[in-house]
Chain A
Amino acid sequence: MSLSKPLALVIEDDPDAAEIFSKAVFDAGFEVEVIMTGDEALKRLDTARPALVVLDMHLPHVAGTEILEHARSSAPLASTRFIIITGDLALANEPVFQKQDVVQILVKPVTYRRLRDLAQLLRVAERGMM
């Protein structure tokens, strides 16, 4: 892990969206790793220690909520921040999203600037905490 750049996982099945999200997160000062499937994401979250996870809720095969719950229940990921990308704001009412300090929700369409600024904010906040 690079000292200057914390790791961010971008979990997104759509390659275009993945590219835009990675660009934004990269520009916010993260090292970015893109994961295109839910299965892969679950596997990667067992070993990786990302500071930020950008998660699209609408993945094929594995529900975004499942990935989030999996990650939230993992002790090594306790300080990981999450940005949830969803088309359905109603999801925001699900209990798993109620941890507003750890989980941020962005409703599609997610602009480059919004994601970049949010990621940057989280990175600064995290640095402040450390």
Chain B
Amino acid sequence: MGKTIVDSLKSLVAIPTTDPDDARRRRLLNILLIGALITGTLALAATLALDLGGAEWAGHDRLTAYLGSCVVIIVSLSLLLVGRYVAGWLAAALFLVFLVAAAAFTDVPEEVADGRGLLVFAIPIMMGSIILPPPTSFAMAALCSVTIAGIKLSLGEGLPNPFAMLVFFLLATVSWLAARTLEGALNELRAINRELDKRVEERTRDLAEALSRNQAILEGIADGVIVFDTLGRATMANPAMARLIDWPLETIVGSDLDALLGENMDPDDRGVILSLLDGANINAPALKFRWGKRVLFTSFAPVRDNQGRKVGTVAVFRDFTREAELDRMKGAFVSRVSHELRTPLNAILGYADLLKEQVYGPLSEKQSRALERMTLNGRHLLSIVNDLLDQAQIEAGLIKLRVSSFTPQELLGEVISIAEVLAQEKGVELSGYIEANVPSVLAGDRQRLHQILLNLVGNAIKFTDRGWVRVRIYRPDKSHWAMEVADTGCGIPREAQPHIFEPFHQADDSMTRRHHGSGLGLSIVKQLTHLMGGEVTFSSAVGQGSRFTVTLPLVPVQ
């Protein structure tokens, strides 16, 4: 019941218009009318109370009070209805006319026409500019002037008061200016608002689009992604992450990395990963680690706000299990095959050797030459198999350095003595020397250093037809030592230079045919050198020979 009255009142004052100025005016009108309605009702109630209390009324006062309050009630109600169902402007105009009419009866005619009652006319004049378009003030000033003139004339006591009329118009001017200024300001405000609304809408749309795009990327990629805040708690994660570690997505958010991954991790890896998360560095290399039965690959990147402050870290996890397994299988396969290849090869070489040594009796010159070819080709095949095995082991990460102390003198001696034979065959002068500032004992993987140096020297001899190959062991600075192999060979063409360390690469095919080799030698040299924390460089020009330098950190002997 109460609800329906409130509802009907609400519908009564509802403002069916799209013009904001009109709406504002009509809202004001409604407020005024409701105010009038309440005032009228209260006045009626007060009159009734006074009447019932047996108050003494002078003259027509009683009638005036009843009539006045009833008129106010009826007029305000009717105007509300007119405003609601006919037209707002009409209600406003009628209200103003009513105010002027009411003003005319607020006092004795003499005062209204030419005395204190004039003041009351200010109300409809000012209100005109508020509840109807501003120029209405002038119409109201005119109406009020006509009214007072009419009253004055009807009293027959001289001419109407021109000053009062002038003041009416001045008042109308002020009201008009004020209302116009207000409306102008409001219009500007509305324009600004509209512009802002438009911008907010655009930004919101862009943002929503970017968000949904990022969300699609995040959900679409196969890698697990977690975003951590600065306290190390996950603030978001993608479905791939949930699948990867088999946690429900909702429980990942809020957990820290240790809780998510720590349990299945090697303590060393865990330490490294947690420190990476702490100081996420965009340049930090991706890290491969075992996680339970899986192998994961992870990288971290800091998240920064627009002032560059770190607000979190993004961690990306890739399931590397299959690749790691393939790598392992490949390594195992190659090492198995290499072993299977090497055993019969060694037997062939061994028997050829027995024949060559004439253990089974003397050989003719032709037989000797044939045996020589067999041995040479067998050795070549063996070196290819060995290179393949090394390459496969390096790729599979199976090569572990065995560091011990060794003397560079011995290293150089061994390599020279092996390579000497080759050099003599080709008529190339081979020499080597160690500079005085190189320590007499060094620490390193002797066998791998031997392999590196022999590879370089072997290469140098292979590509040098006349002249010399020189090995120099020296100390480029306090914390490094280096092996340098220089030759007077054919040199490496400029266009081939960027590729010489790639596996299965020789300067060109004709060279491969002429100079047997697996094409893995330099690749192995480079990878072994890197494994030792060193670097291999070269300089070469066609016809001027080549110079390869392997620089290695000088490890203190323990």
Interface string of B355-383 (1 = CB under 8 A from A): 00101000000000000000000010010
A23 near B359 with CB under 8 A, answer yes
B351 near A90 with CB under 8 A, answer no
In angstroms, Cα B383 to Cα A87, docked, is 12
In angstroms, Cα B350 to Cα A87, docked, is 14
Which residues 23-41 of A sit at the B interface, judged by CB distance below 8 A? 23, 27
Which of B347, B350, B404, B450 contacts A112 (CB under 8 A)?
A: B350
B402 near A93 with CB under 8 A, answer yes
B354 near A112 with CB under 8 A, answer yes
B359 near A93 with CB under 8 A, answer no
A93 near B354 with CB under 8 A, answer no
List B contacts of A111 (CB < 8 A): 349-350, 353
- Asked if A14 is an interface residue, CB under 8 A from chain B, the answer is yes
- Asked if A108 is an interface residue, CB under 8 A from chain B, the answer is yes
Minimal beta-carbon separation of A123 from chain B (angstroms): 18
B347 near A92 with CB under 8 A, answer no
A interface residue count range (under 10 / 10 to 19 / 20 to 34 / 35 or more): 10 to 19
List B contacts of A110 (CB < 8 A): 346, 350
Minimal beta-carbon separation of A105 from chain B (angstroms): 11
- Asked if B17 is an interface residue, CB under 8 A from chain A, the answer is no
B350 near A20 with CB under 8 A, answer yes
Which of B342, B354, B402 contacts A108 (CB under 8 A)?
A: B342
B interface residue count range (under 10 / 10 to 19 / 20 to 34 / 35 or more): 20 to 34
In angstroms, Cα B351 to Cα A14, docked, is 13
Interface string of A63-91 (1 = CB under 8 A from B): 00000000000000000000000010110
Residue of B at shortest CB range from A88? B447
In angstroms, Cα B382 to Cα A92, docked, is 21
List A contacts of B357 (CB < 8 A): 112-113
List B contacts of A113 (CB < 8 A): 353, 357
In angstroms, Cα B353 to Cα A111, docked, is 6
A23 near B354 with CB under 8 A, answer yes
Minimal beta-carbon separation of A60 from chain B (angstroms): 11
In angstroms, Cα B406 to Cα A92, docked, is 12
Which residues 85-128 of A sit at the B interface, judged by CB distance below 8 A? 87, 89-90, 92-93, 108-113
Quick one: given A16-B347, A109-B346, are A92 and B353 in contact (CB under 8 Å)?
A: no
A112 near B359 with CB under 8 A, answer yes
- Asked if A48 is an interface residue, CB under 8 A from chain B, the answer is no
Main secondary structure of the interface of A (DSSP, over half): helix
List A contacts of B215 (CB < 8 A): none
In angstroms, Cα B354 to Cα A17, docked, is 11
- Asked if B229 is an interface residue, CB under 8 A from chain A, the answer is no
Which of A23, A27, A108 contacts B346 (CB under 8 A)?
A: A108
Which of A17, A93, A108 contacts B447 (CB under 8 A)?
A: A93
List A contacts of B353 (CB < 8 A): 20, 111-113
B446 near A93 with CB under 8 A, answer yes
Which of B347, B359, B382, B445 contacts A90 (CB under 8 A)?
A: B445
In angstroms, Cα B347 to Cα A14, docked, is 9
A27 near B347 with CB under 8 A, answer no
Minimal beta-carbon separation of B419 from chain A (angstroms): 15
B359 near A27 with CB under 8 A, answer yes
Quick one: given A90-B445, A93-B447, A109-B379, are A17 and B342 in contact (CB under 8 Å)?
A: no
Which residues 328-350 of B sit at the A interface, judged by CB distance below 8 A? 342-347, 349-350
List A contacts of B346 (CB < 8 A): 14, 16-17, 108-110
In angstroms, Cα B353 to Cα A105, docked, is 19
Which residues 274-288 of B sit at the A interface, judged by CB distance below 8 A? none
In angstroms, Cα B354 to Cα A27, docked, is 11
List B contacts of A108 (CB < 8 A): 342, 346
List A contacts of B446 (CB < 8 A): 92-93
List B contacts of A93 (CB < 8 A): 402, 404, 445-447
A17 near B402 with CB under 8 A, answer no
Which of B342, B345, B347, B450 contacts A89 (CB under 8 A)?
A: B450
A20 near B447 with CB under 8 A, answer no
Quick one: given A87-B342, A108-B342, A109-B382, are A17 and B350 in contact (CB under 8 Å)?
A: yes
List A contacts of B350 (CB < 8 A): 16-17, 20, 109-112
Minimal beta-carbon separation of B161 from chain A (angstroms): 124
Interface string of B394-435 (1 = CB under 8 A from A): 000000001010000000000000000000000000000000
In angstroms, Cα B301 to Cα A16, docked, is 59
List A contacts of B343 (CB < 8 A): 14, 17
List A contacts of B382 (CB < 8 A): 109
A90 near B402 with CB under 8 A, answer yes
In angstroms, Cα B349 to Cα A90, docked, is 23
List B contacts of A17 (CB < 8 A): 343, 346-347, 350
Which residues 109-154 of B sit at the A interface, judged by CB distance below 8 A? none
Most buried by A among B351, B354, B379, B445: B354
In angstroms, Cα B344 to Cα A112, docked, is 16
List A contacts of B379 (CB < 8 A): 109
List B contacts of A89 (CB < 8 A): 447, 450
In angstroms, Cα B344 to Cα A87, docked, is 14
In angstroms, Cα B404 to Cα A20, docked, is 33
Minimal beta-carbon separation of B441 from chain A (angstroms): 15
List A contacts of B445 (CB < 8 A): 90, 93
Residue of A at shortest CB range from B344? A16
Residue of B at shortest CB range from A98? B404
B342 near A20 with CB under 8 A, answer no
A-B CB proximity, top 10 nearest = A16-B347, A20-B350, A89-B447, A112-B353, A93-B402, A93-B404, A90-B447, A111-B353, A109-B346, A109-B349
Q: Could you write out 20 A-B pairs with CB less than 8 Å apart?
A: A14-B346, A14-B347, A16-B346, A16-B351, A17-B343, A17-B346, A17-B347, A23-B354, A87-B342, A89-B450, A90-B448, A93-B447, A109-B346, A109-B349, A109-B382, A111-B350, A111-B353, A112-B354, A112-B359, A113-B353
